[in-house]
Amino acid sequence: MEYDEECLQYFLAHQTQLYDEPVAETLEEADAFLQDCMAVVCTNIKEVRDYLDESGADVTGMSEQELAEAEEVFCLPDGRYLVVEA
């Protein structure tokens, strides 16, 4: 998957949402880390739900708000979602 600069910048700034300490310091490191984790960018919350469901996560009964607030879901400023499975 290709990650654009907005996605990489946002992950760098908010990575401690999911990890106790930073896992990347540069855009290149962030890109490599997200590639290794096979992180996905979803265009809407329905895609987030579908992705997590297909990945085996129990999202049954979770509201859209609860999904958006999950620690592995990063709400990008442009309305997309970055899902990083730890």
27-79: pLDDT as tens digits: 999 999 999 999 999 999 999 999 999 999 999 999 999 999 999 999 999 99
Domain count within the chain: 1
CA distance 17 to 72: 8
Question: What is the pLDDT at residue 85?
Answer: 87
CA distance 21 to 33: 14
pTM of the model: 0.93
Report the pLDDT averaged over residues 1-27: 96
Q: Which domain holds residue 29?
A: 5-83
